[in-house]
Chain A
Amino acid sequence: GENVEQHPSTLSVQEGDSAVIKCTYSDSASNYFPWYKQELGKRPQLIIDIRSNVGEKKDQRIAVTLNKTAKHFSLHITETQPEDSAVYFCAARQGGFKTIFGAGTRLFVKA
């Protein structure tokens, strides 16, 4: 089955700096790669996603890149703000509709 690995587990940046979180997946049949943000005590919420026919997608300060050949995808947050502090999960969705999550990255943005 699908396996999603995520790094780093913890990331601390200064406000205004960029943050990058990387994931790899194992199943070449996966075709949808969402990123979820989970604030403490809250439910996960989608912040950006990318499909396998696209290499890059951007939404304001957030961007995601996908390398299908290498089975890598990454989340980039620019101009980080304290409210970006949260746990971020990458995920891969297989045919058959299962979504498998990475282990999560705890992002701290220091003011």
Chain B
Amino acid sequence: SAVISQKPSRDICQRGTSLTIQCQVDSQVTMMFWYRQQPGQSLTLIATANQGSEATYESGFVIDKFPISRPNLTFSTLTVSNMSPEDSSIYLCSAEKSGMGTGELFFGEGSRLTVL
């Protein structure tokens, strides 16, 4: 398995500000992903965080709004830029462990953002 730590676990933010969420995995992983989960809703993939290159964004998500870094095989950050109340959500980091090839995703506990 893989243990994923995310911080902050929650935050209250002002409109127009930006917040960076950090994700640390306890072992090297090939794939890291960022999902958004609005209350009572499903998990929507924001982007795949690629180590050493630009993230791959899903339709509806852009780099200027959600810049992502992945400097190594155990760490990634997601920034939510110029926040508005519509960005209030839970942001989940996930990873697929290297070499296992199972496809199983491990998730962090999530970062609950409230934008006022």
A-B Cβ contacts below 8 A, count: 46
8 Å CB interface, B75-115 against A: 92, 96, 102-105, 107-110
CB–CB B107/A43 < 8 A: yes
Chain B at the A interface: mostly helix, strand, loop or mixed?
loop
Residue with the highest number of chain A CB atoms closer than 10 Å, among B31, B41, B105: B105
Report if B48 contacts A (CB, 8 A): yes
Q: Which of A1, A34, A43, A101 contacts B104 (CB 8 A)?
A: A34
Could you list 21 examples of A-B contacts with CB < 8 Å? A32-B102, A32-B103, A34-B103, A34-B104, A36-B105, A43-B92, A43-B109, A43-B110, A44-B92, A44-B107, A45-B107, A46-B105, A49-B103, A97-B31, A97-B48, A98-B33, A99-B103, A99-B105, A100-B45, A103-B41, A104-B42
Interface residues of chain A, those whose CB is within 8 Å of chain B, are: 1, 32, 34, 36, 42-46, 49, 89, 93, 97-104
